[in-house]
Structures are given as C-alpha cells and as structure tokens.
Amino acid sequence: MDIDRKRTQRDYTLAFKLAVVEEVEKGELTYKQAQHKYGIQGRSTVLVWLRKHGLQDWSGSLPQGARYATMEKQGKAKPRTPEQRIKELEVQLREAQEKARLFEAVIDVIQKEHGVRVKKAFGQVLAQELVQGLSVSRACRYFGISRQAYYKRRHSELRQTARDARICALVTEVRLRQPRLGTRKLQRVLQAPLAKADIRVGRDRLFDVLRAARLLVKPHRAYHKTTNSHHRFRCHPNLLKEGPQKVVPTAAEQVWVADITYLPTTQQTVYLSLVTDAWSRKIVGYHVHDSLQTEQVSQALKMALRSRRTRQTLVHHSDRGIQYCATYYQAIHQRHGLTCSMTDGYDCYQNAMAERINGILKSEFLLNRPTDLQQAARMVKESVQIYNRERPHQALKYKTPDEVHRASITLER
C-alpha cells in the first residue's frame, strides 16, 4: 500500500479489516504491530476495528480476559481459540509474577526498615484461614520456609500465648487488692507465683505483655491546696534542708513526716492526716476527719506515738500549716520530746516524701469515691494496711515498708 497518501476508513475493505482483527485477537500481532505491518494510518484505527468487528466486549472497564469471560457466560461471545487462551494466560502469568515481586519488595522494606515480624503475620494468616483453600505445604513453599519451621514456631506461639494469659490472670488477682500497682512492683510481687508456675518473665517482657493486654497503669495527677501558711503562729526551721544542721535518718523512728490531703466523698468534703516514717516509708499514723481543726489533725500524731517502739530522738517534719503550728499541736511535741521541723514557707518539695505518700494512697488505692466519712475511714484503713504490708516500695529495694520498719527496730534493740 502507498503510505504517503492520507487514507480514511473507506480506503480499507471490510475483508482487510476483518483479517487484521482476527490476527490481533488470535494473539499473533498486537494492534500496534498490525498498524506498523500494514501501514495503517491513525493511532486508534485498529482499535476502532476491534471494537466494531471483534469478538471482545469493549463497552465495560474490565480487563480483556475478564470482559471476554463475562461475555462467554452471557452467551454473547464465541469460544476463544487455543491461541487466544494461551495469550491471555501468558498475560495473566506475567501480571501475577509482577504482583508477587511487588509484594516481596514491600515485605522486605517493612521487615528491614520498620521492624515488623512478618513470620508472625504469616502464621496468623494460616491459623485464621484467611486464604481459602491454601494448604500449609503450599503456603510454606511460597514463603520460603519449611513446614517443620512453621509448626515449631506455631507451637512456640501457642505456648507463649498460654504463658501470657497466665501472667495476666496473676496480675488481675494482685490488682484486686492493689488496683493501680505499677509494672516494676508487680514483677517483684509475682516472683513467687511465677516461679511456682515455671514462668520466667523479665521487666521488659512484662511491660510488653501488660501493654498488649491493656493492663498498664496510666498516671493521673490532681492538685488541691489544704495548707494555710499565712498565720500568726511561730514556725520552726527546716531540719531536713541541705546544710550543716541537716538531719539524715539512719533507722526507723528518727524522722517522721506529716501532711494533710483532701478526700472527696459524695456527701461532704473530708480530709486525711498522715504521719509517715521517713526511713521505712511506713504510715505510722492516720486519721480521717471532716474538718481542718487542730484537734482532728493531731489524732494521726497521737496514733503514731502510741505505736512508737523506741525512745530515741525523733524529728517531726511538716509544712507550715496552721494546724501544725498551733499551740495544741506543739504541746504534744513538748510532752513527748519531739523536735519540730517545718518547710520554708509553702514549698511542697521540702515535704516531698509526705506528698508522695498522699499521692500513692489516692492514685493507687482510694480510686472510688466513698459515700460518707465512715466509709472513707474504712477505705483508708484497708488501704494503709495494704500499703504497709503488701506493696513493695522502689526506694526500699522492693521491700514492704512494714518489713523494713520491723527490721530496723529489731537492729536498734
């Protein structure tokens, strides 16, 4: 044909068009190759012939093979020749191989750069049967691992899941009495039960298990001012402050720290007075009251003095609240030979230990709002007993305050 002259559709005979369409649909030529071979002008001329005279359905947006299969099911297309079917399968094979290479590259990037454990996900896919009809043998062959390795890992994961469930059950049991006990302290408390169950778990692993089970404790903070340091009563110097006169306890019942904290109830506002031993962190005196009168606050100190076991020099440290500076409270100091120490103005950091004990009780034990004063007093009594006797203290090398206090008193004697 003369290719120098511009042609139109009328220049090609119907027989020529049908022959070109047949060659393209058999897979012998692509439409571009046919266009080049026969000198057909126009980039879409052969495509127009295929849509008009071919057996394929060009009306939809499905791929060629899918459209033809749909037409065959609907009886609108003639059966494909073996050559057409082979060509279609070759295209599908190339696409499947390209897709497989893409997924392998993505998996490599996820595994190397993001630290994702792909084998664990592979095991979950097989265990949950997410791919219907896929056998373990074929899946392992596709993934490049042996069946033995898969089953070995699967059994290990099942054992680990059972161990994690047992750990969570023990944690839940402990938190029935200590609802907000932290992970590091839980590790110490659970040493004996875990050893009995033949389970070994480190700190980081315990964090991972509790995080996966959503059992980690989130800290929350509250601030309520209960101290009035602007008054006419005499204040005392801070004997725990850095300097030549600083008092450093070396045993129990040498320094006590005192503070008052706020407790909400559904009926009224109540307060909790605490006296804590600075050496053992044991709460030696406490009292729940509905007013900030000095007589009420002093009940905690009186309780602490009744349980005192030694007669050594004792320093009582507190903030400059009006209750601690009052004549009634100071008379108790003089009667029992206590040395008074106070913070410099309103500085909570100079009474940090007492503030910390307040926070522990309120954030770990006193979680539910009591109804009235009597219920609050009962809750505080139970919480103090658990704190003193069961809760390990990080500053005490994970021993309980009561254990350290008793050991110190025994050594003093």
> Is residue 400 a part of any domain in this protein?
yes
Question: pLDDT tens digit string along 350-402?
Answer: 888 988 998 888 888 887 888 889 999 999 999 999 999 999 998 899 999 99
Any bridge partners for residue 399, and if so which?
393
Q: In which domain, by residue range, is 388 found?
A: 255-412
- Looking at the fold, whether 157 and 290 belong to one and the same domain comes out as no
Q: Is residue 73 part of a domain?
A: no
338 and 213 housed in the same domain? no
404 and 284 co-located in one domain: yes
Nearest Cα residue to 397 out of 185, 171, 193, 174: 185
Pair (194, 259) in one structural domain: no
Both 153 and 209 in one domain: the answer is yes
Q: What pLDDT score was predicted for residue 272?
A: 94
CA distance 55 to 253: 100
330-338 average pLDDT score: 93
In this model, does residue 232 exceed pLDDT 80?
A: no
Buried b (16+ CB within 10 A) or exposed e, 42-72: eeebbbebbeeebbbbeeeeeeebebbeebe
* 260 and 321 inside one domain: yes
Mean pLDDT of 142-154: 86
Residue 34 within any structural domain of the chain: no
Per-residue model confidence (pLDDT) at position 258? 94
Confidence of residue 180 (pLDDT cuts 50, 70, 90): confident
